[in-house]
Every structure is written in structure tokens, then in C-alpha cells.
């Protein structure tokens, strides 16, 4: 599930040539973003290039995900960090 205004970044402008305006330098491609099954991404979250979001993970609203998220993790913040892991024991209570 994805809430409104989620941003997934896949490329960016190049900026390494000082003698050429950035807008003329083209794009830099990055490894793809992978989003596994049963993931919930909150409103206005930003997912940066090359990140894998593991199965069953939850990304809080407004989070900026800069590195891989483990399966069943609950993440939030800027940069996003793991707050806790979802567990089977929680579901049995």
C-alpha cells in the first residue's frame, strides 16, 4: 500500500562538471528501488535510490528512507530508522 505523495527516486542530475551547467549534464542512474510484498508506505515518504524495503515493512509518513529496511520493520524519521520489528507474538495477543 502506498499513501498519497510518496516519492521514489530513481535518478538525479549530474553535477560533476564545473564547466557545464547542471541542467546540461544529463542524468545519473542509480540501482533500482525494490519494494517487497505486503509493504505499507505512509504519506509523503521519500525512498532514495538503491533501497530495498523488506516484506511486511511499514514506512511512517514523511520518512526519508536512505538505506535498506529489513522485513517486518517499522521505520520512521529523517533519515528513517527502525523503531521496532513486527512480531508474530503481537498478532496472537
Q: Find residue 42's DSSP bridge partners.
A: none
Find the catalytic residue in 5, 13, 27, 83.
Answer: 13
> Could you tell me if residue 1 is inside a domain?
no
> Could you tell me if residue 49 is inside a domain?
yes
Q: How many structural domains compose the chain?
A: 1
> Could you tell me if residue 2 is inside a domain?
no
* CATH classification of the domain holding 42: 2.160.10.10
Query: What confidence tier does 10 reach under pLDDT thresholds 50, 70, 90?
Result: confident
Alpha-carbon span 32 to 51, nearest angstrom:
7
**C-beta separation of 35 from 51 below 8 A:** no
Cell digits of residue 85: 520489528
Q: Which domain holds residue 53?
A: 7-88
> Could you tell me if residue 72 is inside a domain?
yes
pTM to 2 decimals? Answer: 0.83
Q: Is 43 assigned a catalytic role?
A: no
> Could you tell me if residue 67 is inside a domain?
yes
Query: What confidence tier does 27 reach under pLDDT thresholds 50, 70, 90?
Result: confident
- What mean pLDDT is predicted for residues 46-63? 98
Q: What is the pLDDT of residue 93?
A: 58
Residue 87 has pLDDT above 70, yes or no: yes
> Could you tell me if residue 60 is inside a domain?
yes
Q: What is the pLDDT of residue 89?
A: 67
> Could you tell me if residue 41 is inside a domain?
yes
Amino acid at each position: 500500500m502506498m499513501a498519497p505523495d510518496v516519492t521514489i527516486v530513481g535518478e538525479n542530475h549530474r553535477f560533476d562538471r564545473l564547466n557545464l551547467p547542471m541542467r546540461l549534464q544529463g542524468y545519473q542512474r542509480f540501482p533500482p528501488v525494490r519494494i517487497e510484498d505486503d509493504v505499507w508506505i505512509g504519506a509523503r515518504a521519500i525512498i532514495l535510490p538503491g533501497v530495498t524495503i523488506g516484506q511486511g515493512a511499514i514506512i511512517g509518513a514523511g520518512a526519508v528512507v536512505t538505506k535498506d529496511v529489513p522485513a517486518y520493520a517499522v521505520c520512521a524519521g529523517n533519515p528513517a530508522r527502525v523503531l521496532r520489528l513486527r512480531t508474530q507474538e503481537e498478532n496472537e495477543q
